[in-house]
Amino acid sequence: MSPGTNAAGTTTSGNTADGETTEDRTTEDRTTAAAWAGRPLGERTVGYTETDAILYALAVGAPATDLELVFEDRLRVLPSFGLTLAQWAPDVLAEQGAFDNRAVHGSQELTVFKPLPRSGQFTLRARVGEVWDKGSAAVFNVLAECDYFAATWSIFAPGFGGFGGDRGPGRTAAPAGVPLASTGFSSSPNQAALYRLLGDRHPIHIDPQAARGIGQDRPILHGLASLAGATLPLARLAGAHPADLVRLAGRFAGVVFPGDDLTVRAWDGGRFEALAGERPVISDGLAVFG
């Protein structure tokens, strides 16, 4: 599995690429997970066009009537588009063998320094941050930074904990009281097919057979597409433009299927959660607009 492709709650298991079983590697994994902390993952110069930025906006649910997101003459780039340009960072860690195909993308953070231009290129630097020991699992934090934003992927890796390290911070307390506002929004039946064109082409998002391999009866939507899609109605609730996003965070609490009807509930300070029916799909959410 490539990190960043599964929402939390979906798991895979089986043999590693070299034929060893995951059980054979458990002892070694527990002693080596901590050694990844602080490891540089390199840097890359990434580029994009106005077309890429518009495709991204459509792929996370922007309507064709929002001309500032879909028309090049007025284009404002959604800040979360940067996450697609930095996805190589957690992918590099996976390719280097830090964890196996049981790992899932647990949560995501994004801090925006300045708006992305309509098109251009820039250099991203990536490294492994802290590696937390959750007992039965490890959490690898992958950091990617550039002049425009800083992003952190938290990858939950079952079977890689137990190395005696720091457990890391606990869960954020749920928002108190009733939500200040709530609104519904819908994912598109074609949304995963669109979003995968931005680079994350894991088959679980398009191929029913691959989805069945992770215990789902049909392809699932990318977690980052759900998280970015939630910022559109949240911006409306805040009286802001979605391109004015300055902070974003969320934990992937469950899968979203293309075509699902979703609800966001918002509290003071930018806190939010997203649900599919009564089922949480994004928890510990934070969306702050400048």
Amino acid at 181: A
145 - beta bridge partners? 125, 150
- Catalytic residue (choose from 200, 202, 222, 260): 200
Dig out the tokens for 210 from the structure: 């691959």
Per the annotation, the verdict on 200 as an active-site residue is yes
Amino acid at 71: F
Query: CA-CA distance, 86 to 120, in Å (whole number)?
Result: 14
- Catalytic residue (choose from 29, 205, 260, 284): 205
Burial environment of residue 170 by CB neighbours within 10 A (0 to 12, 13 to 18, 19 or more): exposed
**What SS3 string covers the chain?**
CCCCCCCCCCCCCCECCCCCECCCCHHHHHHHHHHHCCCEEEEEEEEECHHHHHHHHHHCCCCCCCHHHHCHHHCCCCCCHHHHHCCHHHHHHHHCCCCCCCCEEEEEEEEECCCCCCCEEEEEEEEEEEEEECCCEEEEEEEEECCCEEEEEEEEEECCCCCCCCCCCCCCCCCCCCCCEEEEEECCCCHHHHHHHHCCCCHHHCCHHHHHCCCCCCCCCCHHHHHHHHHHHHHHHHCCCHHHEEEEEEEECCCCCCCCEEEEEECHHHEEEEEECCEEEEEEEEEEEC
- Give me the active site residues, please: 200, 205
